[in-house]
Structure 1
Amino acid sequence: MKNENIDLTERELDRVIEMAWEDRTPFEAIEYQFGLPEKEVIRVMRNALKASSFKRWRKRVNSGVSQKHLKKRNPEISRFKCSRQKAISGNRISKR
């Protein structure tokens, strides 16, 4: 990764990017799990993605579609993962 201030393994970096792309995973969950506040997640995404992918992600996060901020989130959503998701192994959803 370009930024030396953030010490993440490749696997952790992949998971942070995956969590950042997921609409239902709030920034607070990423901070709790990896110690990265929202600004650092944005920096990770900027360094790891192509410019067009980063712009698309930022537009999505700032639009009404994403639930990335707990304060803006519907109070009925109380968990980070989808109810249909059984388990995750190696960043892949297990086959059902």
Structure 2
Amino acid sequence: MTELHLSDLEKDRVIEMAWEDRTTFDAILLQFGLKEQQVIELMRVELKLTSFRRWRKRVQGRKTKHEKLRDFKEGRFKCSRQRQINNNKISKR
């Protein structure tokens, strides 16, 4: 596995973003510099095996997780009904 130099807070945020349906892997790359494979590796290490399998099954082939497959090109990184998240670099721009 590639060594990731993320704080615990940053790891928690990446995991949270990875679980969100509308947050693309491109958004995670933009904010944290992690490619899709690195996110998968992080999830494999940080989650329980059953949670990791559930997440992989959920995101595999999901159009909203891959910007090139999305039906819409512009929009929010997160659902409008989702609670406000602190420590999000993108929302502070």
Using the size of structure 2 for normalisation, the TM-score is 0.82
Query: Matched residues in 2 for 1:21 and 1:72: separation?
Result: 18
Query: Matched residues in 1 for 2:2 and 2:68: separation?
Result: 31
| Equivalence for 1:57 | 55
Number of aligned residue pairs: 88
Task: Give ranges in structure 2 of 5+ residues lacking alignment.
Answer: 89-93
Which structure shows the bigger proportion of residues in helix conformation?
2
Output aligned runs, 1:1-96, within 5 Å: 5-64=3-62, 67-75=64-72, 78-85=75-82, 87-89=84-86
Does structure 1 retain, via aligned residues, the 8 Å contact 2:20–2:78? no
| Equivalence for 1:94 | none
Runs ≥4 in structure 1, deviation > 3 angstroms?
Answer: none
Which structure shows the bigger proportion of residues in strand conformation?
1
Once superposed, what is the RMSD of the aligned Cα atoms? Answer: 2.2
SS of aligned partner of 1:71: helix
Task: Give ranges in structure 1 of 5+ residues lacking alignment.
Answer: 92-96
Q: Which moved more, 1:70-79 or 1:35-44?
A: 70-79
Does structure 1 retain, via aligned residues, the 8 Å contact 2:2–2:38? no
Q: Percent identity?
A: 56
Cα-to-partner distance string for 1:17-61 (whole Å, 9 max, x where unaligned): 000000000000000000000000000000000111101100000
Using the size of structure 1 for normalisation, the TM-score is 0.80
SS of aligned partner of 2:43: helix
